[in-house]
Amino acid sequence: MAENRVLFKITNLKQYFPLKKKGVYVKANDGITINIHEGETLGLVGESGCGKSTMGRTLLKLYNATDGKIMYNGRSLLEVAPEYADKTVHGLKAAKAKMLRLQEAYDKMEAEIETKGWLKEDAPETPERFQALTDLAQAKKDAYDATFDVTSIVGGLIILDDLDPVIAVHNELFGVAKERKAIYNKRKTVQVDLEDLRFRAEQKGSGSFQSKISALENEIATMDQQIAAKDEQMHAIRAKIDQMRAPHLKDPAFQQMDQDRDGAVDLARLTYEEMRHLRVDMQLIFQDPYSSLDSRMTVGQIIGEGLLAHKRYKRNDDRMKAKVLKVMEDCGLAPYFLHRYPHQFSGGQRQRIGIARALALSPKFIVCDEAVSALDVSIQSQIINLLQELKDKEHLTYLFITHDLAVVKYISDRIAVMYLGVIVELASTEDIFAGAMHPYTEALLSAIPTADDNTRRELVVLEGDIPSPVNPPPGCKFHTRCKYATDICKHVTPVLEEITPNHFVACHHRLMTEKEAAYRQAQAIEGNA
């Protein structure tokens, strides 16, 4: 897969659900860090109950994230103009002070641990060392979060001693951006009214609508001029910001802070109304085709519901009917299904209706939550082929959630393996199946049924049950079922790190693959040259 730009940058995502007992939580997602690239299919696999569906729904902000960041690059920060950007800019001095304080605390802690030799791989495995490494990881996270909150908006300018000009110019920029957004949103509403009147006039062959059409055209022309004026204002303000940045571009400290300034939007910090405007970009295909469709609505109403909710068309608009029929055609649904109800269809047909509903708004990103698990094998292949065709045609990005590795092998560009709320391995599909590095992935692969004598694998049996997400084990969450576990696994949480190019593993005792051995040998030869 070609390396496309990052669409989602997810950092330390946590999703906890409170129980009735005070202070007790179900830790469904517990510190997920992963990137999702534009145009790819990322397969998310793991045992039932490991947090796959929760992660997908949290990305769509159907659940409010407990902690962490969900940076979305499908829309620019200025286009969305979120409230949190205003708050960050207004509190920039306090945010910088917090950033410096936490960074200083982390540096001090790291220096103390390094002095004791606890960062060396051969350091003694003592409870004191384990606790120190755990505290260091938390301090690093806190320092990163505090830094990222400001650098994602103002970039390297945070290093300046005098922040007043930085605050003033960014206040001006986001003020204009908010005004532009308000005009643009109003324009979309007026545009729908205009297109509706034009259509009615065309259908009835009457000039009675002409005065109203002309009024709306003039209103839109006025708003276009206003938007253009706001664009010019924003261009001039950005030029001022570039002038402020110019003297510091070669400063290493500036460069380090500026690398996070990419204009992405943190979905986790958006208000309900701000997120609602972005939902057209993100859709969900539900797991159960029998319960995810409203039995009181026809197929046409189900598919067109999103178009009405986001005011793409007015109710009973024939143009919406044409749009729905086009989407149905793309999803392999016959036109005469339009006025039928869900109970009149098979499971495969219902799933196609769910897919059509997700595609109606022309999204950029779709979460496929066990989209084929309830279907028989032949229907599974039809739905998977359909998803592939639609992905290529519409340039879609998928998060494909499943527990079936045989299915994910066919459809996914990369695979993320999840265990008890954390990602334990991430790599291309080819690399995962050629040589897994995490013991859990090894066990999952060994369980794939095969009729080919030449590809038989030794079955890796996982002893015991998955621990409770309410009280997960400390350290590596897999250590209670892992045959390679040692004391460090019981106390220190492994970090998801890149072992070979684009192959990430979170394990203290990862499995050596032929690819890693060859990679290490090549590095050694290069180092000796």
- pLDDT range class, residue 245, cuts 50, 70, 90: very high
Tokens representing 120?
């060396």
pLDDT of 1: 45
- pLDDT range class, residue 52, cuts 50, 70, 90: very high
Least confident among 20-34, 264-278, 375-389, 398-412 = 375-389
pLDDT of 176: 96
Contacts of the segment 223-227: beta carbons below 8 A, 24+ positions apart: 223/183, 223/186, 223/187, 223/190, 224/187, 226/183, 227/180, 227/183, 227/184, 227/187
pLDDT of 452: 61
Q: Rounded to two decimals, what is the model's pTM?
A: 0.88
The per-residue pLDDT for range 123-142, each reduced to its tens digit, is 887 888 888 888 998 899 89
Q: Mean pLDDT throughout 352-377?
A: 88
Higher pLDDT among residues 196 and 302, named by residue: 302
Q: Mean pLDDT throughout 196-206?
A: 79
Q: Whole-angstrom Cα distance, residue 157 to residue 42?
A: 35
Q: Rg of the chain over CA atoms, in angstroms?
A: 26
pLDDT of 260: 86
- CATH 3.40.50.300 domain range(s) in the chain: 6-76+273-415
- pLDDT range class, residue 282, cuts 50, 70, 90: very high
- Per DSSP, the residues of 168-195 read HHHHHHHHHHHHHHHHHHHHHHHHHHHH
**Does 363 score more than 90 pLDDT?**
yes
- pLDDT range class, residue 457, cuts 50, 70, 90: low
Q: What percent of the chain has pLDDT over 90?
A: 59
**Does 456 score more than 70 pLDDT?**
no
Q: Mean pLDDT throughout 353-365?
A: 92
Tokens representing 334?
């016959």
**Does 192 score more than 60 pLDDT?**
yes
Q: Mean pLDDT throughout 35-63?
A: 93
- State the sign of the Cα–Cα–Cα–Cα dihedral 349, 350, 354, 360: positive
Report which of 80, 78, 47, 58 is spatially closest to residue 13, judged by C-alpha positions.
Answer: 58
- Per DSSP, the residues of 297-317 read S-HHHHHHHHHHHTTSS-TT-
Tokens representing 403?
């527990």
Helices (H), 61-126: 77-80, 83-90, 92-115
pLDDT of 503: 94
**Does 31 score more than 50 pLDDT?**
yes
pLDDT of 455: 58
| Fold of the CATH domain 6-76+273-415 | Rossmann fold (3.40.50)
The per-residue pLDDT for range 142-190, each reduced to its tens digit, is 998 899 989 999 999 999 999 999 999 999 999 999 999 999 999 999 9
Highest mean pLDDT among 94-108, 312-326, 479-493: 94-108
pLDDT of 2: 47
Q: Which residues contact 402 (CB under 8 A, 6 or more apart)?
A: 43, 44, 45, 52, 370, 372, 373, 408
Please report, for residues 174, 238, 255, the alpha-carbon distance to residue 76 in angstroms, rounded to integers and kept in the order given.
Answer: 12, 14, 21
Q: Which residues contact 341 (CB under 8 A, 6 or more apart)?
A: 295, 296, 297, 298, 299
The per-residue pLDDT for range 89-126, each reduced to its tens digit, is 999 999 999 999 999 999 999 999 999 888 887 788 78
**Does 27 score more than 70 pLDDT?**
yes
CB 56 within 8 A of CB 284: yes
The per-residue pLDDT for range 370-402, each reduced to its tens digit, is 888 767 777 788 888 888 988 888 889 999 999
